[in-house]
Amino acid sequence: MDFLTVLQILDSTVRLATPLLLACLAGLYSERAGVFDIGLEGKMLAAAFFSAAVAYVSGSVWVGLLAGITASMVLAALHGLASITFRGNQLISGVAINFLAAGLSVVIAQTWFNQGGRTPALTGNARFQEITLPGADALASVPVVGPIYSELISGHSILVYVALLIVPLTWWVLFQTRFGLRLRAVGENPAAVDTAGVSVVAMRYTAVLICGLLCGLAGAYLATGLAAGFVKDMSAGRGFIALAALIFAKWRPWYALMACLLFGFLDAAGSRFQNIETSSTLILILLVAASAALIWTARKSKLDLAVLGSLAAILLIIGALVLVGIGLGGIVIIPVQFMQALPYILTVIILAGFVGKAIPPRAGGEPYVKER
């Protein structure tokens, strides 16, 4: 693998990690305030549709971005109304938003454009263009440094840079400001915050609306930056992957960046390397190593050994079947479907292995009832 190929994979990693990062930070604000939100997927999908549809009709990607953010924030306000004002079940409210967005986006798209539930392709000013940073062309011929700057750092759309800047901004807001202290306190001990004269309802609504804003950016990037239009279910489970990354990151912004880059890398590798030929011996070694790592993790962190142990047993059985069927040293072709499923496989492993280890905000998922 040459240096340029590595840069291309890393470049794709950044692009693919951007919607995950925005959605992960969206969930971070909401869950830090004590409102669990599994409706990230639905808000991203609604934002993707309305941003693409309005951008096509208006010819301006910025008008489309505003429409996508508005749609996402409307759904976020609906989630807040159900879970904060009416103290409904937050998980059910999130599921309802996912169903609502998945159905309405296709129905409206079919009615509006009559193209099978998708929007027409976006061109020109109707989608975000790549930005060439100052000096990128001049440094392109410089060994190592030039390609890194011109290929990896430069050449992304503006929302990629916005997403990366939101990470330190989120850290500063949550851990260096009075607003962030109150927001985190609302997620840990809302009664104490209420006693201090801070409105728990107002803080939670603020966090939910910030979540809607960031999901709007994520959905708009999907349809007008990463792709050139909306297609049915184009979020493709990214909202749930973002939730897994949030748990893996322990509700911290810098860890969230690393987790989303990991998911983005697996997605980029799955798209780049397809139908890989490798030795069955190497496959067996990797499966044994993965099984040992799973068992060690379960023992080290005192997790439920049955969950990870069962997964390790499945991996060993797969390795044994490969060895029996092909023989030691035989050639195995890894199918493209497996490579494309890597982010989702990692999501299952994280949710199975780290949910018990990661500790969410103590008041998360619980409606607050003011004491009289």
d(CA 152, CA 158): 14
Whether the per-residue pLDDT at 369 is higher than 80: the answer is: no
**Which of 91-95, 195-199, 226-230 shows the lowest per-residue confidence on average (mean pLDDT)?**
195-199
In this structure, what are the phi and psi dihedrals at residue 260, rounded to the nearest 5 degrees?
A: -70, -35
**How confident is the model over 31-41, as pLDDT tens digits?**
999 999 899 99
pLDDT band at residue 66 using 50, 70 and 90 as cut-offs: very high
Bigger pLDDT: 148 vs 210: 210
How much is the pLDDT for 92?
92
Whether the per-residue pLDDT at 50 is higher than 70: the answer is: yes
In this structure, what are the phi and psi dihedrals at residue 230, rounded to the nearest 5 degrees?
A: -100, 140
Bigger pLDDT: 347 vs 86: 86
Question: Considering the entire predicted model, what is its pTM?
Answer: 0.85
List Cα–Cα distances, 297 to 241, 352, 354, in angstroms.
21, 12, 10
How much is the pLDDT for 60?
94
**How confident is the model over 108-120, as pLDDT tens digits?**
999 999 888 889 9
Whether the per-residue pLDDT at 194 is higher than 90: the answer is: no
